[in-house]
């Protein structure tokens, strides 16, 4: 068990448009979900922590209005990149923590975003 | 975020040899560490974890060593196989600040057949 999916796996969008990425825990309830971005040959950078039913907590330097996070249920969190620009092109990865086992994180396969 | 770094960005080893990947962290309050493996185009995969009340933990072909005095941990892979080729990250957590994890730079391991 503990499978996390992301959709889409890759997306190409035009500059100025918005794109939504979904993160789902398929076989468990996720108390908390995390969003990371990763540039080529670099590490994962934590963007925000998302708790079901409450506002996301963003890391320093991450624009809240740029990266909208919604965690509407215990199995779904979404990240919307608004008014995307080429510099937003990156690999976005989510992870989820099981209810009551907060330190175990299960990662999704990632979403490759390319903004043209 | 926290500062967690790795000493070597790349590492090449012969198949069958042992690999050692190092990680330095700066937050002395960090009390939980995880090593992840990431293959190209995929999400990280959990390898092994260690809490700060331990110095060593062993798994299948992997051993993590933690030296809190110098804020350093290492991942040892025994009898490295071609399937071990990937990027390896350490990630650290400080329990009293929540369940966020911060990742180190990463080391790219290449196993030479």
Does B5 have pLDDT greater than 80? no
pLDDT score at A102: 57
Q: Do B1 and A103 touch (CB under 8 A)?
A: no
pLDDT above 90: residue A41: no
CB contact under 8 A, B100 and A34: yes
**Residue B3 predicted with pLDDT over 50:** no
Q: Is-cis flag, bond preceding A45, omega within 30?
A: no
The DSSP secondary-structure symbol of B96 reads: G
Test mutation, A25, A36, A42, A44, chain B, max B CBs within 10 A: A44
The torsion defined by the Cα of A90, B73, B1 and A77, in degrees rounded to 10, comes to 50
Q: Chain B interface, mutation test: which of A58, A105, A111, most B Cβ atoms within 10 Å? A: A105
Residue A47 distance to chain B (closest CA, Å): 9
Supply A107's token pair.
């990662």
- Report the half-sphere exposure of B105 (CA within 13 A, side-chain side): 13
- The Cα–Cα gap between A24 and B30 comes to 29
Predicted confidence at residue B2, as pLDDT, reads: 44
Longest Cα–Cα distance in chain A: 41
Q: What is the pLDDT of residue A31?
A: 84
- Which residues of B fall within a CB distance of 8 Å from A43? 89, 103-106
To the nearest whole number, what is the mean pLDDT of chain B?
90
Q: What's the pLDDT at B92? A: 92
Q: How far apart are CA B8 and CA A66, in angstroms?
A: 34
A61: which residues sit within 8 A by CB, 6+ positions away?
none
* Mean local confidence (pLDDT), B90-112: 87
The percentage of residues in chain B with a pLDDT greater than 90, rounded to a whole number, is: 73
Percent of chain B with pLDDT over 70: 92
Q: What is the mean pLDDT of chain A?
A: 92
């Amino acid at each position: 068990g503990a499978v996390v999916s992301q959709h889409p796996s890759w997306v190409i969008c035009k500059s100025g448009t918005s794109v939504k990425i979904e993160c789902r825990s398929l076989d468990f309830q996720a108390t908390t979900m995390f969003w990371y971005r990763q540039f080529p040959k670099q590490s994962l950078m934590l963007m925000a922590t998302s708790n079901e039913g409450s506002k996301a907590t963003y890391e320093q330097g991450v624009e809240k209005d740029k990266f909208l996070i919604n965690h509407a249920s215990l199995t779904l969190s979404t990240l919307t990149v608004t008014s995307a620009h080429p510099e937003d092109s990156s690999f976005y990865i989510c992870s989820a923590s099981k209810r009551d086992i907060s330190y175990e994180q299960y990662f999704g396969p990632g979403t490759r975003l390319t903004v043209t | 975020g926290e500062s967690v770094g790795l000493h070597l960005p790349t590492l090449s080893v012969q198949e069958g040899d042992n690999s050692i990947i190092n990680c330095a962290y700066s937050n002395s309050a960090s009390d939980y560490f995880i090593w992840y493996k990431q293959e190209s185009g995929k999400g990280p995969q959990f390898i092994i974890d260690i809490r700060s009340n331990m110095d060593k933990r062993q798994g299948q072909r992997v051993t993590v060593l933690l030296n809190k005095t110098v804020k350093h941990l290492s991942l040892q892979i025994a009898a490295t196989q071609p399937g071990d080729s990937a990027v390896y990250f350490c990630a650290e957590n400080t329990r009293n600040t929540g369940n966020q994890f911060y990742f180190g730079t990463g080391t790219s391991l290449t196993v030479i057949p």
